[in-house]
Structure 1
């Protein structure tokens, strides 16, 4: 009996230890929050931005009118300070005169006028004399010398002969023909084009009040990361996510500051995040955001501010972090923890950063063009996630075909080759070959329609042919 009692006690102890071990594992893994649907994650994040008045333009700044102003958005309207032209100007090379003086001129009854007593030569844009009210184009006059003979000094003759009358104000640009002083030249919210800059300058302005360009700081972290150009050894990973993210932000209209690589050290990462929060409008903390032993992203956000979301039901980009840093200076800076895999990082930019940059710039995000295409092979998809599938598209026999590319979150070339992406919403487990799906294309539709679709294993011959036809813009 004593032996069996001993076994029973030992079994109870083992069961308790197993239970505690399980609880420990649960506690250890609780860092990875339950997946939040993409729409709920966006809603939570943008609600927080609205709470801190960060859901629209971030302010304004004064810039000079030059070529670098193109693409900026006006924060204030542009009113004309002066008229354009601000004087009566000749519209062409010719002679200014009084129209009444040639009212009887005809081919059979030419009229001659002395220069400069009755007619004055003007180049295009010259000021019209106060006494004149029309300009005769130089090709419509006959230049004469003092003897009434034709001469070669067409711009400086003794007199001119005309064989046609001219209405008052012919070939004259009157004051305000283009712009009238005090009129509205460009409205607030206008995205500046090259011609808009010319109109603003013509109206007498030399500066513009535009929407402040958001500054995004990108902080790559990871002990395994090495800069581009480094001779890599086993275990090294070339850090290029910050380049891809930075280029995306510039393309969308933001400014970028890339921090050097930070090793996996909690205090160092915190210090760099605090530095970035001093003047940045958005911080992208690029690191593996899963609950690994060296993951500091969520802990950094919780320490320096608020963590709103950790884990989103979207692929690629599952372990995204959304939060807010509260700096010592009183600034509130949104922070996005970007996953380390390159496809996940790039798609996080597309899904979260792009719309935010457009919103801060006062612009409407341009939607992707959509086409309906028939999928070439079966796709499986996690039932609980919104799945962004990279697609290669082509038009074959009058219909669009969609060939899914590699699904790996680390396959950056899948984005290079992709003509767009399809979104398989959560609740579905994929699509069968031959089904039709909607593709959001990121290339010119003409390019897709002129694409030769080759499906099968990789063949270097196809690469050689592709390089050859590329020379002809195909």
Structure 2
């Protein structure tokens, strides 16, 4: 469990930029928990705890890349077509015999090369006659169509590094070396709750002035996609003592606490007061839109991040504040969402010294190039804007205006989780 000092997130600047927030998280948060061994087939999405070196060459033996005829490269015809006696066949999973002089082994894709063969003619490039002979043309380069041992990975090379969040292709690579178990970091334990008298649980009776709580379900899903073990603490009413008790209890059993709502400066925003009563709170005035009201604090050594109540603001600030915090606690690599240059198909004005994220869809322009189309409506409460778009256009602090045709940076949603 994280045991942090109450001032570990102290920041002296008047307004924290997104880059400063991420840098502070990387500097101050360290991996929590321990290391465990899991079965290979259960390792997807987990954080690798140690480097993995290749225990053998991949492929472990030289093999044919095509269906054809394997020969010793020293025998490649140079002046005119030549006839070779056909031996074999050599199929995948079999052990070939040594080639005799003047012979070519009939071989199939993936089959091991005979010990003294290093070149394969594709079957469509040769000519067969009625006898047991194959006629090979001139001009082939020695080593063609043969995969040497270690062509993909050499024995001893590092194939995966500690801190990597494992993906299906990583699982495939480790399986190719015959590994059955991997050492991974234990999951980060995340406690999540929403605050607000206006919220009601989906499925329950909703009052006329109430809303179904959507943020908590979204945050839990995003945290789980990062490999976290999530505890749902439900909806807490607007009461300082109730919230304070929940924070103290969550801090004892979790590595990080995420809240939604109650972090602005209104009289009914009690998260700030509850944190001040139970630990230490630094109100991050992050220069970001949507999502300026974001706070971070420490309760009994456990970090807390308070996200805004508006769904889009909660989504954006999770991606750029909570996500790097969870990955840092998990021992994961400090990766950012993939940023792609695209053409803006919209005009937009923004304030200087504030990073803004514009919801946009990607379409193919008339010239075949990708362009970003802004969602037609504004508002940090429009959940449909997250569903109806493909990602976020990131506009840096120094930028004041975007004109149609400008190149902008686009972050696909799929790269954030």
The structure with higher relative contact order (CA 8 Å, sep 6+) is: 2
Pick the aligned partner of 1:386 from 346, 354, 357. Answer: 354
Counterpart check, 1:370 vs 2:341: yes
Deviation at 1:297, TM superposition (A): 0.7
Counterpart check, 1:349 vs 2:318: yes
2:337–2:411 Cα contact (<8 Å) kept: no
User: Secondary structure at the residue paired with 1:229?
Assistant: coil
The 5 Å alignment of 1:159-308 reads 185-189=159-163, 192-308=166-282
| Distance change (3 Å), C-alpha of 1:35 and 1:369 | same
What TM-score, normalized by structure 1, do the two folds share? 0.58
Unaligned runs of 5+ residues in structure 2 are 1-11, 67-83, 109-130, 135-145
The 5 Å alignment of 1:57-68 reads 60-66=35-41, 68=42
1:342–1:412 Cα contact (<8 Å) kept: yes
Q: State the aligned residue count.
A: 365
| Distance change (3 Å), C-alpha of 1:44 and 1:392 | closer
State the match for 1:423 in structure 2: 395
User: For residues 89 and 404 of structure 2, what CA distance do their matches in structure 1 show?
Assistant: 75
Instruction: Compute the RMSD of aligned alpha carbons.
Output: 5.3
User: For residues 195 and 265 of structure 1, what CA distance do their matches in structure 2 show?
Assistant: 48
| Distance change (3 Å), C-alpha of 1:128 and 1:77 | farther
| Distance change (3 Å), C-alpha of 1:71 and 1:280 | same
Query: Greater helix percent: which structure?
Result: 1
The 5 Å alignment of 1:383-462 reads 386=354, 388=356, 390-392=358-360, 403=374, 405-418=376-389, 420-423=392-395, 425=397, 431=401, 439-443=408-412
| Distance change (3 Å), C-alpha of 1:49 and 1:272 | farther
1:422–1:438 Cα contact (<8 Å) kept: no
User: Secondary structure at the residue paired with 1:410?
Assistant: coil
Q: Which runs of 4+ in 1 moved over 6 A?
A: 82-92, 119-123, 127-130, 161-164, 172-183
What TM-score, normalized by structure 2, do the two folds share? 0.64
User: For residues 410 and 380 of structure 1, what CA distance do their matches in structure 2 show?
Assistant: 19
Deviation by residue 1:329-388 (Cα, 9 ceiling, x = unmatched):
xxx3221111111122112112212333444422522332133436447x465x6x6262
Deviation by residue 1:9-40 (Cα, 9 ceiling, x = unmatched):
xxxxxxxxxxxxxxxxxxxxxxxxx994232x
Unaligned runs of 5+ residues in structure 1 are 1-33, 93-109, 112-118, 140-160, 165-171, 327-331, 445-474
State the match for 2:20 in structure 1: 43
User: Secondary structure at the residue paired with 2:338?
Assistant: coil
User: For residues 272 and 406 of structure 2, what CA distance do their matches in structure 1 show?
Assistant: 36
